[in-house]
Amino acid sequence: MQNYKKYAIPPAQLIIADVPYNVGTNFYGSNPMWYKNGDNKNGESKFAKKSAFNSDFNFNLYEYFHFCSKMLKKDDKGKQARGRSSNSPCMIVFCSFEQLPTLIDAGKKHGFVHYIPLVFVKNYSPQVLKANMRVVGATEYALLLYRDKLPKFRNGLQIDENGKNIRGTGHMVFNWFEWKRDNAKEYPKIHPAQKPVGLLKELIKTFTDEGDVVIDPCCGSGTTLRASHELGRSSFGFEIDRNFYKRAKEEMINLPDEIQMELNL
């Protein structure tokens, strides 16, 4: 992130990332992987009291927001037709529920003064340990952050040949999204906190157009790049872990010269 200028990346319409949750050695704390073969009768596994990735200990949130403020496009100052969104950019940050106030505060310090909380609903839960004794988590969270103007918004509204809105063609976009797992044969599982390509496509379609630039500063498995490519967007990703970078490049985005992935180490 400190060397972003040397990549000459065009300004982004959307920055989307899953920042480290700072759970450290408790990453597998509610996951059956803590135990051998997922059974607590077998004793603790190699994942017990282990972190998922090193960046969970030293991720600089304020440096991240500074990077995003520089890489996003400037707000659209032009006058928009009635009923149309601006072309202003936005940022989506996946996070834990506990991180929401911290991210809101950090965003304001870097010019992102507005936000919309997003919730992602699963039909399963990884929190199977002691599930008969507590309410288990089956949701993920994110913040949609923007500066002064509401960002570009594409809800399926169509425009006629005279440039007018076609009534009945748009749809409401709720602040919650259905979280469906990817088909493992189509999209390999690479990262322990990997986001589904299908879900990322929904977000990218809502806040960008074809040809727009999408940046993922915490690229991980490369699912954001894969989703962007399949939707005709240009995308750029940064990943600090060499193993995730290698697997993402070879397995998730192994497409001939169509996606460039820069590694910032």
Domains in the chain: ranges and CATH: 4-22+59-124+136-252 (3.40.50.150)
pTM (2 d.p.): 0.84
Of the candidates 136, 139, 263, 114, the one whose C-alpha atom is nearest the C-alpha of residue 199 is: 139
Task: Report the distance separating Cα 134 and Cα 132, nearest Å.
Answer: 6
pLDDT tier at 158, thresholds 50, 70, 90: confident
Q: How confident is the model at residue 257 (pLDDT cuts 50, 70, 90)?
A: low
Contacts by residues 240-244 (CB-CB < 8 Å, ≥ 24 positions apart): 240/55, 240/264, 240/265, 241/53, 241/54, 241/55, 244/53, 244/190, 244/191, 244/219, 244/220
Residue type, 41: K
Measured CA angle at 227 (ends 198, 80), to 5 deg: 95
Local confidence band at 187 (pLDDT 50, 70, 90 cut-offs): very high
Residue 21: per-residue pLDDT: 61
